[in-house]
Amino acid sequence: MISTVMANLVLGRQNGPVLDTTVSIAAKLDAGVVGLAACRPIQTVCHDYAVPAALFDEDRKEIARHIEAGELEFRHAVARLKGRTEWRAHTTVLPLAEYLSRQARNADLVVVSTEPGDGQCDQTRRPDLCDFVMSVGRPVLLVPTGAAIDGLDRVVVAWKDTREARRAIVDALPILKAATNTTVVEFADDGEVPEARSGIAEVAAWLGHHGVKADARVMLSRGANASQLDGIARELEADLIVAGAYGYTRQGQWLLGGVTTQLLAGDRCAIVSH
């Protein structure tokens, strides 16, 4: 059950797609909405020179302006909802991914924005998306710039018999129940197709037990699964992709799988869980 949807607003920019998607999901699921904005104040390292106090003063004023604008944008977006709404805005010295992960403790689904090719971002205003997805412990709905979910007619589930995929499909179950068409897709090597068909049939049957009628497809893997998944989503005109988020750390940095990387930088809405 999804009873609270949290929308992360990036201060200093327009957040229309994230807010539109959040409101659409909340209206369909009769869920409450929390709008959350966080930023880090400017930080400098002083050596042999002084940093003008006016620099910090202007940063504080800019943060205050952005918080006020963000709240107005949020209040306007959620005005048509009948359920509970809440606005939160904070400054913090913590990395934003860590801070937002802590705030997500009272949410069932977190909605965040992505930008294609957004390898570098202003981390005083935006969380490191990779760190956030892999540490938040909640399903994350990724909304690309210029995209938003207006309906839930068609959903594609990227299935793989792993912990991450099993968690993702459970996390997304309320969304799948609200969808009109659900297709579960698995990519398999030539010798693994019969086993994959047997497994994915059980997944479709499990969804059926929860009131979700799903089609099951096993596709022969032909190299980059990320490209194949994108092709199927386009063929089916999917509104949303559901997938596990895969990655591991090396020297404190997350290294992601190909499909996860594609979803974090792609142009299609997706729910991912790690």
Q: Could you read off the pLDDT of 86-126 as tens digits, one per residue?
A: 999 999 999 999 999 999 999 999 999 997 654 556 778 88
Element containing residue 219 per DSSP (H, E): strand 214-220
On the question of pLDDT at 254 being above 60, the answer is no
pLDDT value for 118: 47
Is residue 207 within 8 Å of residue 184, measured between CB atoms?
yes
Q: What is the pLDDT of residue 259?
A: 83
Kindly report, residue by residue over 168-208, the tens digit of the pLDDT: 999 999 999 999 999 999 999 988 999 999 999 999 999 99
Q: Which two tokens stand for residue 227?
A: 């490209």
One-character DSSP codes across 132-189: HHHHS-S-EEEEETT---S--SEEEEE--SSHHHHHHHHHTHHHHHH-SEEEEEEEE-
Q: Which two tokens stand for residue 105?
A: 């403790």
The CATH number fitting domain 154-273, selected from 2.30.130.40, 3.40.50.300, 3.40.50.620, 1.10.20.10 = 3.40.50.620
By DSSP bridging, strand 109-114 and strand 140-144 are parallel
142 phi and psi, to 5 degrees?
Answer: -90, 125
The one-letter amino acid code at 56 reads F
What angle in degrees, to the nearest 10, is found between the helix axes of 225-235 and 258-265? 50
Q: How confident is the model at residue 78 (pLDDT cuts 50, 70, 90)?
A: very high
Q: 266 pLDDT band (50/70/90 cuts)?
A: confident
Q: By the 8 A CB rule, do 193 and 220 touch?
A: yes
Residue 203 pLDDT = 98
User: What average pLDDT does the structure give for the chain?
Assistant: 89
User: In this predicted model, what pLDDT tens digit does every residue of 40-71 receive, in sequence order?
Assistant: 987 766 666 666 767 777 888 889 999 999 99
Beta carbons of 109 and 5 less than 8 angstroms apart:
yes
Residue range 5-24: average pLDDT? Answer: 94
**Topology alike, domains 4-144 and 154-273:** yes
pLDDT confidence of residue 151: 74
In the chain, domain spans:
4-144, 154-273
Residue where the block lists tokens 């993702």: 168
CATH of 4-144 given 1.10.10.10, 1.20.1530.20, 3.40.50.620, 3.30.70.1290: 3.40.50.620
Residues 145-169 pLDDT 10s: 877 777 778 999 999 999 999 999 9
